[in-house]
Amino acid sequence: MSSLVRLRLLPSAKCLYTQPVQVLVDGLRSSQVVTMKARATDDKGVLFHASAVYRADSGGVVDLRRDPSLGGSYTGVEPMGLLWSLRADTLHTKFYKSDSRKPHVVRFSVHEVEAAAGPALAEATNERRLLADGVARQPIKEGNIRGVLFVPPGEGPFPAVLDLYTFGGGLSERRASLLANCGFMVLTVALYGHDDQPKKVTKLHLDYFEEAIQLLRKHPKAMDSGVGVISISKSGDLALSIATYLPNVKATAWINGCCSNVALPLYYRGSQIRSALMYDTRGITVTESGALNIKHGLHDHLAPENEGSLIPIERAAGRFLFVAAEDDLNWDSCLFANQMEERLRRLGKDNFEKVVYPQSGHYLEPPFGPYCPSSFHGVVGAPVAWGGEPKAHATAEVHLWNKIQEFFRTHLVPEAGAAKARL
């Protein structure tokens, strides 16, 4: 490494996962062209990397907040581009970051452009923590519930949120821990395949989520104003059913899901309350990468024979946030969101808001994580395309992260909701 060149991460090389950093290089020659690199390893040990070419200014400085990438993993001015453009060498590989106790460690380096594979001129390591100081992480094995509870520091009370991050087996802590950093008490639960849960399921029970909500509400630091529910994909229709059939659900964030109960029948107190809308393989196509486009892979949810799967969200007492990505290739989420909006309006309801993100794909997650174009789908049993243009998708994630917090604070924190109403 050159002793004259410095690579700095400002304001600090250590930060929270959702905080931006300024990547700054100085000590270069005037107008020198260099390659910036980033590399990180996920929780499964898979290496992800990104690179971009930059030209220093007359003072020998490259500032990613100001300077455009001339080529590489992305182009243009993208201050966090080296983070969201991280990609594995193997196709259909999703960045797996689940354990909140392990930070997302990204190693940045700057190289002579002619010798990008050679020694670095300078290096710096960014430690991006999923847990803020003082946030308590408590594994939950109580009754039927298997999950992890995150409690912010302080006496509270805190607005309580149930996180249904994934329908797949196992447990993901990332979104729940990051929401807890923002002042929410969050319980993320596994639906199957975690701890002593069965590896596969043939039906789902709303009683499980009722138990989870009761666990949240009885916590001494929980705000006594009802709970929020956040979801994505298949868990989106579960969130709709929770909001429709269970009490004390005040705010539900539905992200890129369906308006009908999909894949597995839903039971409550021993009786089936929703049938399952199933897949129609005739609507599935194959993309150039070999991943499946399953956007139109469901039977017609409005057909009379599928009426039993449609969730009667007009019965819900709480608020909805419908979030849809226009280039979602997993669900026709814009269609479903539009139909839910139309249905509620037709019935005189105004307990919802809708956000649509152009050029964005299915997996809208907390910001500054690697964009994923496709990965293996456990239910489908094959790689599936998620859609989205990387830059637009990354921008949408930043906006949505702030929108989710605003939505929950407005409808779960009495003072915040009253203040917004006055405005």
Boundary (domain end) residue, out of 105, 129, 153: 129
233 is catalytic: yes
Q: Could you say which of 42, 163, 328, 332 is catalytic? A: 328
**Closest of 356, 350, 278, 273 to residue 312, by C-alpha:** 273
**Closest of 373, 292, 293, 362 to residue 327, by C-alpha:** 362
Burial of residue 251 (number of CB atoms within 10 Å: 0-12, 13-18, 19+): buried
Domain total in the chain = 2
Q: Are residues 24 and 163 in the same domain?
A: no
Torsion of CA 178, 214, 233, 130, to 10 degrees: 10
Could you tell me if residue 235 is inside a domain? yes
Q: Are residues 235 and 189 in the same domain?
A: yes
Q: Are residues 223 and 314 in the same domain?
A: yes
Boundary (domain end) residue, out of 111, 129, 147: 129
362 is catalytic: yes
Q: Could you say which of 172, 233, 235, 360 is catalytic? A: 233
Would you state the pLDDT for residue 418? 55
CATH of the domain at 180: 3.40.50.1820
Would you state the pLDDT for residue 380? 87
Question: Given phi > 0 = left and psi -120 to 50 = alpha, else beta, which region is 4?
Answer: alpha
Q: Are residues 236 and 375 in the same domain?
A: yes
Could you tell me if residue 96 is inside a domain? yes
Q: Are residues 112 and 142 in the same domain?
A: no
Say how many CA atoms lie within 13 Å of 414 toward its Cβ. Answer: 5
Would you state the pLDDT for residue 194? 86
Could you tell me if residue 65 is inside a domain? yes
Could you tell me if residue 1 is inside a domain? no
pLDDT in tens, 92-151: 999 999 999 999 999 999 999 987 678 999 999 999 999 999 999 999 999 999 999 999
Q: Could you say which of 49, 92, 111, 362 is catalytic? A: 362
pLDDT over 60 at 419, yes or no:
no
Q: What is the mean pLDDT of the chain?
A: 95
One-character DSSP codes across 344-387:
HHHTT---EEEEEETT--S---STTSPP-SEEEETTTTEEEE--
Q: Are residues 75 and 150 in the same domain?
A: no
What domain range is 18 assigned to? 6-129
417 pLDDT tier (thresholds 50, 70, 90): low
Q: Are residues 222 and 82 in the same domain?
A: no
All residues at 6 or more sequence positions from 59 whose CB lies less than 8 Å from its CB, including other chains: 26, 30
CATH of the domain at 34: 2.60.40.2240
pLDDT in tens, 162-178: 999 866 667 899 999 99
* Beta bridge pairs of residue 147: 140, 189
Q: What is the mean pLDDT of residues 254-270?
A: 97
Q: Are residues 68 and 189 in the same domain?
A: no
